[in-house]
Amino acid sequence: MEPLRVLELYSGVGGMHHALRESCIPAQVVAAIDVNTVANEVYKYNFPNTQLLAKTIEGITLEEFDRLSFDMILMSPPCQPFTRDLLIQTIENCGFQYQEFLLSPTSLGIPNSRLRYFLIAKLQSEPLPFQAPGTDGVPQN
């Protein structure tokens, strides 16, 4: 199996990139996108071989998205309630099924009790291949 080609939006300092690397899933982050100049400097230090685009996601053209030829998007949006509503609307409009999770890192053996929001999406023609711990695996849409 070829490594997944991953686009990282709202990349910050690269926390999602690091989590992906630690997951041992065969993947390559083909580009990271963030407007925060300080975060981008840290990201470049952490991941010097990853293409970093200092722009807003609204500033990316469809042609740029197509050229990146990615299989998966990782993101860590800064304003989750607003972003979640916009994301759900976009996911539904594009024909994806999705499942949302609120998980505490402690349920995964990580000593941090702050709840985190996760969303997994897949084209409706294909079943979701996984589910989060403690969930029934039923999509939320």
- The structural domains of the chain, ordered by start, are 1-78 (3.40.50.150), 83-130 (no CATH)
Task: Tell me which residues are annotated as active site.
Answer: 79
Q: Which pLDDT tens digit goes with each residue over 49-106?
A: 999 999 988 888 889 989 999 999 888 776 656 667 777 888 888 888 888 888 887 8
Task: Note the pLDDT of residue 6.
Answer: 95
Q: Which pLDDT tens digit goes with each residue over 16-25?
A: 899 899 888 9
With CA atoms as reference, report the closest residue to 57 among 110, 119, 11, 20: 11
Quote the tokens at residue 77. Answer: 């949006």
* pTM attached to this predicted model: 0.61
With CA atoms as reference, report the closest residue to 54 among 71, 36, 69, 42: 36
Torsion, CA 33, CA 123, CA 80, CA 63, rounded to 10? 30
